[in-house]
Amino acid sequence: MSTEDEREIFLVALPGHEQPVAEEARAAGFKVTSVISGGVTVRGGWPEVWRANLYLRGPSRVLVRLGEFRAFHLAQLDKRSRKFPWTETLRSDVPVKVEATCRRSKIYHAKAATQRVENALTEAAGITVSPDASLVLKVRIEDDLVTFSLDSSGEGLHKRGHKQRVGKAPLRETMAAMFLRQMGYDGSQAVVDPMCGSGTICIEAAEIALGMPPGRSRHFAFENLASFDPAIWKITRAGGAVPVPEITQRFFASDRDEGAVKMATKNAQRAGIGDLISFQKHGVSELQRPDVPPGIVLVNPPYGARIGNRKVLFSLYGALGKTLAERFGGWRVGIITSDGGLAKSTGLGLKPAGPAVAHGGLKVSLFQGQC
């Protein structure tokens, strides 16, 4: 691939998870050029766009920069949009949704800017425009610079394609993967989640251990682009078929809710890793240390903000801390919560909170420590 084929690719990250996403991208061989609030910029051609969607676990979406130009008024935006080489990327039979934002520019009306770009697409390039289209063209006008970017992912990348059921306030797969990375998880350690909910943490951990591409079970928006090459995509997907390592059952998920355990079990089976995770129904006080070398306990307990009463939760966090301290000596522990007071109530002497990460209207952090 020549440098002329390269373009700017933006890996959208949850605020607070930019650094682990950048670390993951570098480890996967991507050319990271910048890390900013909200994401990571890398460079590459279309095959790199496809590879990012298929293999990276941390990004929420992958945006592709198509091009840019200066425009100081709507007529100029209209004229230059009509000359833009849309058909190099977009297909006339695939509808597109246009979303525009304007900041610090002479063109300040986002709705008017959207209409001009939509007219250019339909009238000059024969592209269908629809507000319900799954393919999204993002138009950013900032300091009079118009930038066109395409959302190559479609549905958010936390939707891996094999989870059909979730519980209340589920932890997104992208978040679980990056919290595991922050815990130093490399696929070789045992992982215990004593409040597993829909099973996200252990499912992600098992997939990482097996080298399974997170996007293996889903469709992406880029598959409907004129720039898509099915032959190269087939090779890219085949590249994820690495030899499966011989691993023992070292992922242990439990929950006091029987429905959650059944749901998590089915989710793991659909992901193709049901045999690698032990699912059990019991509360945190009944949690027993598995007969494996010390590993990682990562748990996403209720925070009290949306689920449960905060006062009642102090006893739950206390019971969790007591169980881990008594039975999990030598294990590392990570508590994901929005409430530092609840984390402290575990009595585990956890380190100060990691970066706050946006989660369903809240800000949660990872509190790490040693059992």
SS3 323: helix
pLDDT for residue 111: 97
Kindly give the residue spans of alpha helices, DSSP state H, lying in the chain. 18-27, 46-55, 74-82, 110-119, 125, 173-182, 200-210, 230-238, 258-270, 310-327, 340-344
Distance CA 256, CA 261 (A): 8
pLDDT confidence tier of residue 309, bands split at 50, 70 and 90: confident
For residue range 208-245, list pLDDT tens digits in order.
999 999 999 999 999 999 999 999 999 988 875 555 56
Supply the pTM of this predicted model: 0.93
Structural contact between residues 350 and 296, judged by C-beta atoms closer than 8 angstroms: no
Q: What is the pLDDT of residue 249?
A: 76
Cβ atoms of residues 196 and 264 within 8 Å: yes
pLDDT of amino acid 3: 41
Query: Does the pLDDT at position 57 exceed 80?
Result: yes
Four-point Cα dihedral 174, 16, 143, 148, nearest 10: -10
CB 89 within 8 A of CB 135: no
Domains and CATH numbers, the chain: 3-151 (3.30.2130.30), 173-213+244-370 (3.40.50.150)
| Residues 139-192 pLDDT 10s | 999 999 999 999 999 999 999 988 766 656 679 999 999 999 999 999 999 999
Q: In percent, how much of the chain has pLDDT > 70?
A: 94
Strand bridging mode 97-103 / 136-142 = parallel
Alpha carbons within 13 A on the beta-carbon side of 334: 23
Looking at per-residue pLDDT, the higher value among 245 and 12 belongs to 12
Looking at residue 283, the DSSP 8-state letter turns out to be -
pLDDT for 166 equals 63
Q: What is the pLDDT of residues 262-292, one digit of tens each?
A: 999 999 999 999 999 999 999 999 999 999 9
Neighbours of 12 (CB within 10 A): 20
8 Å CB contact between 137 and 99: yes
